[in-house]
Structures are given as C-alpha cells and as structure tokens.
C-alpha cells in the first residue's frame, strides 16, 4: 500500500517518470516502457489511482503534476505539462 504523504509521492513520481532533459524545455517525464517497473513499487492500479488524485488536487503543481499526468496519459510531457515532441 502507498503512503499518503503527498510530497513524498510527488518526489517518487518525478523520480520514476523522469525521462530526461531537453533544451529548450528542461526536464521531461516519460512512462516506463514496461509496467513491471511501476509494479515493482506498488500495484499499477494503486499507482494510477494516486496519480488521478494528485492530478485532480489543486495543491499539486508542475512539475509534479506533469510526472503524474505522464503516468496516466502514457505520454512524454515537459515539466510545464506540454507534450514533449521528439
């Protein structure tokens, strides 16, 4: 089961979803190619439920929100929330 400390969860999302660095644009977040990476930490359905809660929470701001959205939407997002185009 996941801890409910929002700041710790946000730090986790930013670390696990970190895809890399681009210029211009800064950091981007990317879902792992294999869900087993996420399942190693918690069942994927629990992670997705927390991701949705964090995205819906007005206290969750970018770049954390971008990391959670990348998990939910299964796409690469810049820290600003814009879609990362390669």
Pairing relation of β-strands 18-22 and 77-78?
Answer: unpaired
Q: Is the pLDDT of residue 1 over 50?
A: no
**Nearest to residue 78, comparing CAs of 35, 13, 19?**
19
Which of 3-7, 34-38, 52-56 shows the lowest per-residue confidence on average (mean pLDDT)? 3-7
Rounded Cα distance between 74 and 15, Å, is 16
Mean pLDDT of 43-63: 95
Longest pairwise C-alpha distance within the chain: 38
Q: Is the pLDDT of residue 18 over 60?
A: yes
């Amino acid at each position: 089961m996941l801890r409910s400390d929002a700041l710790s969860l946000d730090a986790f999302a930013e670390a696990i979803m970190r895809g890399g660095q681009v210029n211009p644009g800064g950091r981007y977040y990317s879902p792992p190619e294999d869900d087993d990476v996420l399942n190693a930490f918690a069942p994927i359905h629990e992670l997705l439920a927390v991701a949705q809660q964090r995205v819906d929470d007005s206290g969750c701001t970018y770049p954390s929100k971008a990391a959670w959205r990348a998990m939910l939407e299964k796409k690469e997002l810049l820290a600003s929330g814009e879609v990362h185009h390669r």
